[in-house]
Chains A and B, each alone.
Chain A
Amino acid sequence: MATWTEPSSSITTDLREIAEDVVARALRAGATSAEAIAREGSEFSVTVRMGEVETLKESGSRSLGVRAFIGRRAGSTYTSDFTQEGIERMLKGALDLARVTSEDPCAGIPEPSQLGSCPGDLKLYYEDVYSLAPEERIEYARRAEKAAFDFDPRIRNSEGGSFEAVDGRRVLANSHGFTGEYRRSYCSVVAVPIAQADDGAMQRDYWYSSARTLSKLDSPEEVGRIAAQRALRRLGARKIASTRVPLIFDPQMARSLLDQVFEAVSGDSIYRGASFLQGKLGEKIAGDNVTVIDDGTLPGGFGTSPFDDEGVPTQRTVVIEKGVLKSYLLNTYTARKLSLKTTGNASRSLAGSPAIGNGNFFLEKGGRSPRQIIAGVKQGLYVTEMLGHGGNLVTGDFSQGASGQWIENGEFAYPVEEITVAGNLKDMLNNIAEIGDDLEFRSSMAAPTLRIEGMTIAGE
């Protein structure tokens, strides 16, 4: 691979000019307001399996999308064709569609006074993500896998180690004269080892580290070692009888529960009556120990950006404070529907209406270490994986496949699998008995270790 000569990152287009031009042309073509989004990015990924490069991928791409309004009617289109002809066709399509959609009093871009950008350096882009020579990138992946193999002879197979680097730029422009842009970098290293017991039974697990700069990435050795430990501790897993015991959710699983809370407080779910938290603003919906925050302004965060996908500055929103539901997460449309103010949580793909996206969404940490929480459990289950899509936000019912470690007198006794854990989110939020001090952002959502009472394990 020593002959690699391609430039490592190739962002070149003047996206700003293009986005502003699309807005201007939309107005000339008959739109009463318009919003354009232009994206450009490059990706590099390599997977090393059994010590050999398995896949190597490198490419760049760009795309353009527009939302055009005729009064309170909206149409949207996108393209990857940046030629004049391609842009013309995209604009004509958007206006044609705007003529068939319904007059919706809440539709439209934000008011001019709502537009803006978070000041200061949000530390989203680091050139070092693309600074490594190709050989070194491959080495990252190789080292992660090797560390897993070296950790224990029972790591006998692998789905590989991988390294990824992503660089993306985004421009948003609208007909109120707003133009904003930002660039974000991202890199990650992953290991997916497979442990095998003497009887042939296999267990796979993974671990990863991700960051906006290489300097904050955990070492591949650390990632590989933890991945190996996670796979090994699953060997010999058994099914257990149906029971009700305290469940301890590790931070990854606690985050997946928090994801359900995010969906339930999203403006889209609320105005459609599709959430068990509809109409609960100002009410006690969780225990006193529960505070949940969404903050799109944390420097360097995975959920950070200077403005949302409608050009509204991101902000810090207290969603649940000491158990009381304080705010939903809203974009312009859902805010108008609910007669509230947008929280700067608009998220859109190239086409279609904006949805709700989170900033850095987290449950505030408590005071106990995970070790202390586990030590305090006489009999219980430490949940380390959940499978499936068994959540119903309308009712709050929750039921998912799970695996983890059985806890007996404060210590891990044996691994458990092929069971389900079930409850109702309304009850679960009120039954969080303990909250760990181990809050760590590994993605744009984070939660510490949680002990929840009153859920049901279904097994034999």
Chain B
Amino acid sequence: MTQNQTLFFHKFGITPTDLQRYLSEALSAGGDYADLYFEYVTSSLISVDESMIKSASQGISAGCGVRVLAGERTGYAYSDDLAPEKIMRAARTAALIARGPAKELVQGFSEKGAHQLYQVPSPSVDADIAVKVDLIMRADAAARACDPRIVQVRVSFTDELRQIMIVGSDGTFASDVQPLARFSATCIARAGENSARGTSGGGGRVGIEYFLNEKPPENFAREAARQAIIQLDAREAPAGEMEVVLGPGWPGVLLHEAIGHGLEADFNRKGTSAFTGMIGRRVASEKCTVVDNGTLPSRRGSINVDDEGSPTQETVLIEKGILKGYLSDKLSSRLMGMPDTGNGRRESYAHIPMPRMTNTYMLAGEDNPEDIIRSVNRGVFAANFGGGQVDITSGKFVFSASEAYLIENGKITAPLKNCTLVGNGPDALTKVSMVGNDLQLDEGVGTCGKDGQSVPVCVGIPTIKLDSMTVGGTAR
């Protein structure tokens, strides 16, 4: 997309001259840098519950956020009205963070070549609603057909198309059109007095074709039903330290919580992360190499440019166990004198950007996943997770297994009720003794929250074995 193709120029009549004027106003009291973030998002949701299409909604949200940086200070204001006087007013408000003579800006904008990571022929928000109805009804039928013990099924399909344009006082110009779609299925199974729940889902920066061809909705429905049925027979999880094997894919949320957040540059710039000052130190076993990569085609966490207009990239966080780098945005990059890794993201025009993850995963190793299970005498195999959380300062993290099994004498045996795993970020990965050759990324369901802002992310991991981890069950 080029400058004159953006929606903001042709639909809202904004011109490059206007942009210069807004930026000048933003820097009218000094400041080191100012930028404007224009956003126009259309989104839709349709869901089936009790085999009825109960809810269908759609909406449009548009606005412009103005940011002014002055040293370590950030001034921010936004408008949900793109009329010139409203944007000027926001610029004037944000400008007040600085105190000094007006700053000159670079004249003219330049646009860098960007990735083309999600070339969707037609965005799914514009797809015929009847097609979406058919998809979710198919999923509902498939889940119910799995097993008579499935008593409740909920399926939803959400999508959005986010059009953004970012201009900066350093001449930055970037724009992007970001599709995002997600399918979710939840089943409840009942047998006598026992109830259990299973969930599944997937998607990414894809069009509706993805769900018609590559990932038919029946897949998600059957997976949710399978998990619910398995959980019916689950027993209490053990409590205490033991060997833990994580399955491939979504269990990569371990990396996201244990190390990812702690390596975001803002925490390290302020010295508030448990990883502060640890670059070059060993934080994982030498079998572990972990990257954050915003450039994978079609993935949920992928973006052509970040929300500050910088191109995304692959950033090595841990190489063979040694901590290599942080995830940075423009502010931290400037203040820390380190490269901007293109990780400046924000939830919307009403939010200040900050360093965030994109797609975060561990590279494949050489072990056969079956050998990994066979090597465990007594432990837990965690195949799937709900969410996780981390205390960035102390490094302590938790994540909750939604599908887990006991491993006894090298064999997977009984399913376990949802149990929580806890650990300490800077040393959890030092206990990784085996890494499988089966790297998988999650199906495209992750949403990460930080400081009240949500952004879509993706995680991935091969099967790995941790020699010791605390399992938070209730069994004696």
Contact = CB atoms under 8 A, between A and B. Distances in A.
B54 A53 contact: no
Interface in B371-400: 386-394, 396-400
Contacts of B274: 202
Contacts of B152: 272-274
Given A388-B388, A420-B239, A422-B420, 19 more contacts: A52-B73, A65-B59, A75-B57, A77-B57, A77-B59, A79-B59, A80-B62, A101-B52, A102-B52, A102-B53, A202-B394, A242-B239, A351-B45, A351-B57, A388-B400, A389-B386, A399-B474, A418-B424, A460-B240
B54 A104 contact: yes
A61 B470 contact: no
A420 B190 CA distance: 28
A451 interface: no
Interface in B383-421: 386-394, 396-400, 417-420
Given A55-B73, A274-B188, A390-B400, A204 B272 contact: yes
Interface residues of A, number: 86
Contacts of A234: 394
A49 B271 CA distance: 12
Interface in A408-427: 417-424
Interface of A: 1, 3-4, 6, 49, 52-59, 61-63, 65, 74-81, 86, 89-90, 93, 96-98, 100-104, 107, 157, 159, 194, 201-204, 234, 237, 239, 241-242, 244, 272-274, 276, 350-353, 385, 387-390, 392, 394-395, 397, 399-401, 403, 417-424, 455-460
B151 interface: yes
A273 B188 contact: yes
B29, B73, B195 pick with most chain A CB within 10 angstroms: B195
Contacts of A49: 72, 270
B93 A458 contact: no
Given A102-B54, A157-B270, A392-B197, A6 B397 contact: no
Contacts of B197: 274, 392, 394-395
B389 A352 contact: no
Interface on chain B toward A: helix, strand, loop, or mixed SS?
strand
A77 B58 contact: yes
A56 B400 contact: no
A242 B398 CA distance: 16
B73 A273 contact: no
B96 A3 contact: yes
Contacts of A98: 56
A351 B474 contact: no
A55, A56, A399 pick with most chain B CB within 10 angstroms: A399
Interface stretch (B76-84, B281-289, B318-326): B76-84
Contacts of B399: 388
Contacts of A390: 386, 398, 400, 418-420, 472
Nearest to B422: A401
Contacts of B396: 387, 401, 403, 417-418
B110 interface: no
Interface string B136-157: 0000000000000001101000
Contact of B470 (A55, A75, A81, A420): A420
Interface string B298-341: 00000000000000000000000000000000000000000000
Given A202-B274, A395-B196, A400-B420, A52 B57 contact: no
Contacts, number: 257
Contacts of B59: 65, 77-79, 90, 350-351
Contacts of A107: 54
B355 interface: no
Contacts of B419: 390, 399, 422
Contact of A458 (B75, B81, B151, B470): B470
B99 to A, nearest CB: 7
Contacts of B271: 157
Nearest to A268: B49
A90 B61 CA distance: 12
Contacts of B476: 244, 456
Interface in B227-247: 237, 239-241
10 contacts: A52-B73, A59-B79, A100-B133, A159-B270, A203-B394, A237-B394, A274-B152, A392-B417, A403-B396, A458-B472
B80 A388 contact: no
Contacts of A418: 396, 422-424, 470
B97 A53 contact: yes
A53 B73 contact: yes
Contact of A420 (B73, B154, B422): B422
A428 B53 CA distance: 37
B470 A459 contact: yes
B127 interface: no
Contacts of A276: 195
Contact of B400 (A3, A6, A157, A399): A399
B458 interface: no
B470 A419 contact: yes
Interface string B39-65: 000000100010011111111111100
